[in-house]
């Protein structure tokens, strides 16, 4: 998978800019605040329908504008694919090859992308929601139907949550909640199975990478904890029972206590939680291993490596990890876009682009 070019109009600090990319490594160089990360964000948004930095499209608009437009040409299985995303007056429109998509699941996964930045350490140090997001984003790229599944589940959760917080008599809530619980169980089981399957595949792919990074001295393990530290099989068989047991508490606390929206991905270093026991360097190795494992899983699934976006990563890695990442990219021939300042250029080869005040120029 490759990106040939992208056009950004009124996106972040870009008025109207078009960029042609090359196979292999593309290096975006410039001082902070010039727009390097905005290009990476624009590509990611075009491919996933979401920003990795903000939750609201309004924040992606150039100052005092009410619409932005992204357009890109990509290569998939040697065929050209044209993607377009247009946001105007709080409404979003996406097209594939000039055909409008009605749902995000019709769009996500067309071209796969893996994004890596220093902020990804939150996957280790942050809360369960960050790790669930990591799992769900990856599943959605390989199985777009997961997006619709999550949306349906979240709607049911919102409805049940509203009921729990309502002033409805307690005895009336019991029968109504049971209806929502049935849908939560039906949708939740599918989400749990998807996440557990990916977790096992990540374990198989990431651990050898982590061993290479640590000269076989340390071991990476990942476990998906469903419905309170249960295996997927246990969670599915006990789902209904757990919901019945927590029903009284949910009504009293006006809070949904059971479901995959509360699950966690446990990332372990030699059997201990990486969040508590891993050093900063070890945490970087854990995240790097999981990201490289994502690349391998997509390649296994789709027969091609995804596009790789690296935002200010090389300057944050020590020499050994940096060299390992560069060797992986070069040996796999993955098209990669890397942002860095001129002082941080650790690469011996690649196409250079200068980014300054919302303009980009390819260096000759």
Binding-site members are 30-37
Q: Tokens 């990591």 identify what position?
A: 134
User: Residue 125 and residue 106: Cα distance in Å, rounded?
Assistant: 33
Closest Cα to residue 259, out of 268, 267, 250?
250
- Cβ distance 84 to 20 under 8 Å? no
- Provide the β-strand partners of residue 99: 96
DSSP string, 295-321: HHHHHHHHSSPPEEEEES-GGGS-HHH
DSSP string, 43-90: HHHHHHSS-SS-S-GGGGBPTT-SEEEEEEEEEETTEEEEEEEEEETT
Q: At what angle are helices 280-302 and 170-213 packed, to 10 degrees?
A: 100
Residues that constitute the known binding site for ATP: 30-37
């Amino acid at each position: 998978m490759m990106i040939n070019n992208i056009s950004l109009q009124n996106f972040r600090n870009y008025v109207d800019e078009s960029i042609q990319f090359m196979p292999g490594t593309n290096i975006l160089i410039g001082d902070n605040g010039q727009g390097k990360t905005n290009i990476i964000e624009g590509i990611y948004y075009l491919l996933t329908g979401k920003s990795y930095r903000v939750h609201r499209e309004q924040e992606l608009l150039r100052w005092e504008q009410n619409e932005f437009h992204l357009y890109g040409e990509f290569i998939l299985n040697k065929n050209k694919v044209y993607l377009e995303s247009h946001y105007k007056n709080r409404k979003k429109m996406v097209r594939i090859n000039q055909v409008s998509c009605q749902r995000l699941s019709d769009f996500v996964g067309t071209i796969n992308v893996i994004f890596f930045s220093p902020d990804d350490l939150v996957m280790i140090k942050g809360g369960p929601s960050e790790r669930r997001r990591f799992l769900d984003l990856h599943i959605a790229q390989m199985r777009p139907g997961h997006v619709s599944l999550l949306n349906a589940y979240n709607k049911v959760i919102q409805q049940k949550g509203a009921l729990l917080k309502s002033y409805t008599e307690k005895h009336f809530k019991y029968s109504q909640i049971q209806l929502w619980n049935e849908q939560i169980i039906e949708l939740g089981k599918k989400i749990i199975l998807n996440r557990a399957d990916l977790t096992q595949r990540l374990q198989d792919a990431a651990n050898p990478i982590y061993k290479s990074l640590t000269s076989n001295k340390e071991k990476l393990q990942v476990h998906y904890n469903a419905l309170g530290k249960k295996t997927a099989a246990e969670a599915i068989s006990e789902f209904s029972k757990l919901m019945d047991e927590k029903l009284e508490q949910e009504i009293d606390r006006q809070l949904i206590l059971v479901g995959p929206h509360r699950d966690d991905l446990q990332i372990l270093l030699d059997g201990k939680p990486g969040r508590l026991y891993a050093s900063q360097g070890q945490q970087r190795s854990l995240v790097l291993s999981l990201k490289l494992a994502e690349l391998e899983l997509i390649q296994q699934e789709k027969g091609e490596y995804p596009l790789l976006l690296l935002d200010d990563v090389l300057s944050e890695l020590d020499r050994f990890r940096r060299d390992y990442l560069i060797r992986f990219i070069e040996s796999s021939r993955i098209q990669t876009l890397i942002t860095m300042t001129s002082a941080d250029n650790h690469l011996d080869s690649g196409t250079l682009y200068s980014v300054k005040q919302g303009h980009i120029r390819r260096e000759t």
